[in-house]
Structure 1
Amino acid sequence: MSHETIYFAPPYSSWADKQAGGDLYTHLRRQGKKYDKRRNGKSTRRQIKKRVSIDERPSVVDDKSRIGDWEIDTVISKGHSGALVTIAERVMKYTVSAQVDSKSATDVTTATIALLKPFKDLVHTIKADNGKEFAYHEKISKALSADVYFAHPYSSWERGLNENTNGLLRQYFPKNTDFKKVTQIEVERAVKRLNSRPRKYIGFKTPDQLMEEHRAALAA
């Protein structure tokens, strides 16, 4: 039966009435229009200008054969009151994070540059999702001399490291956390614990250990 059928009345559809010149369809919530949340699978979200897809990212990033490719995301609190900017390095799993009062592109861009500036020599690429908070990606790219790439829309499996990192941070900041009331010191304390935790994927070393070893090798 059609979603547009008028119930408790003779089986006469609004579509047939419209074809006959009637106006029953004007009384429907969608007025005879088919509903498609994503318009044939395409996002209705305004696309970020000059975004570059991860399809154009160097293959060395997927190979994980070098250090310096990062993934960025935001963690929001209930009611969208403030957020955390989280950035993790793909090979070492080394994480940095900052509290921001909003998910605005300005706040997120400022935090991103501040977080990665100390590691500028170790930043080759950054992968982001398509959230509008990353609209100023060109400013980030210029400040860090790094390339920013965007994951495909609605493809969370392409951001597994982000999902895992955010899940670990949620151990310290549950979903009902108001990030406007969280201090940067508290964030850094939680991140320090993550970076001091041995990881199976990296031979049960800690991200801190790998970062120290890599920087020592660069300085040698």
Structure 2
Amino acid sequence: MDLPAYPQEQAARRRVYKALRCQKARRKRYGKPERRGQIANRRPITERPPEVEARSRIGDWEADTMIGAGNKGAIVTLVERKTGYSKLMRVPSKEAAGVTKATVRALRPHQEQVLTLTFDNGKEFAGHQTVGKRLKADCYFAEPYSSWQRGSNENLNGLIRQYFPKGTDFRTITCDALTEVERKLNNRPTKRLGWKTPKMLFEGVKLPN
């Protein structure tokens, strides 16, 4: 059996390449292309007001999503930076339309206490402009692969994993179960808050003398 004429094919390709108008050297690409930052009209975290970083007011939120086993089902996690008050919403997937709707639905009852949102760079937050418009809030994006810029959210996700460990099928979680976890987290005294609960600070409840 005759072997394929690879040298002849390579020579033919070189002749075609030399005939091209553009003679730039070709570079071999390694790895997958970066696509996480391709969200239209995103505002970087560097434009965020300094009050947000200082946690000097109530109304600055961080947002992320947690994915269930086998990439089936997801939870939108939202946390207010100063108080640690959190909202959890189950969605069928990380599809942007569903995440946008869930974010608005979760925060609309607290709209007066929503000034900014800082998102992860996932494409599920491509609807940030809709979120900002409906909640009358400014939206920003953390830098890619900089989870520390959303430290409150990362901490919240770790707490949620105590109730729903990795490998949990989020499709099997009932709304009542998720609401109960949210209730427990918001009524959990923490040292950072002077042993008050996120709910007490978020709602302005004072401790009895």
The alignment's TM-score, normalised by the length of structure 2, stands at 0.83
Matched, 1:67 2:67: no
Say which of 89, 93, 99 aligns to 2:80. 89
Are 2:26 and 1:57 equivalent residues in the alignment?
A: no
Q: Distance in 2 between matches of 1:136 and 1:183?
A: 26
Q: What is the distance in 2 between the residues matched to 1:201 and 1:152?
A: 26
Corresponding residue SS for 1:66: coil
Q: 1:109 is matched with which residue?
A: 100
Shift of 1:38: 6.3
Mapping of residues 109-128 of structure 1, within 5 Å: 109-128=100-119
Give the conservation status (yes or no) of the 8 Å contact 2:69–2:170.
no
Match of residue 99 from structure 1: 90
Q: Is 1:189 the equivalent of 2:180?
A: yes
Shift of 1:101: 0.7
**1:20-39 equivalent positions in 2, closer than 5 A:** 34-37=28-31
Per-residue deviation, 1:181: 1.3
Cα distance in 2 for partners of 1:46, 1:171 equals 30
Distance (Å, rounded) in 2 between the aligned partners of 1:76 and 1:159: 17
1:118-157 residue CA offsets vs partner (Å, 9 max, x unmatched) = 1000000000011010001110001000011000011111
2:19 matched residue in structure 1: none
Q: Distance in 1 between matches of 2:43 and 2:137?
A: 13
Deviation at 1:46, TM superposition (A): 5.8
Please, which of 133, 145, 149 is the counterpart of residue 142 of structure 1? 133
Tell me, what secondary structure is at the counterpart of 2:145?
Answer: coil
Aligned with 2:71: secondary structure?
coil
- Per-residue deviation at 1:36? 3.5
Which residue matches 1:166?
157
After superposition, the C-alpha distances for 1:22-49 in whole angstroms (9 at most, x for unaligned) are 99xxxxxxxx95454366xxx2446000
Give the residue type in structure 2 aligned to 1:37.
G
Identity fraction in percent: 48
Task: Report deviation, 1:194.
Answer: 0.7
Pair 45,150 (structure 1): closer, same or farther in 2 beyond 3 Å: closer
Aligned length: 186
Structure 1 partner of 2:171: 180
Give ranges in structure 2 of 5+ residues lacking alignment: 1-6, 14-25
Gap change, CA 1:38 and 1:59, over 3 Å in 2: farther
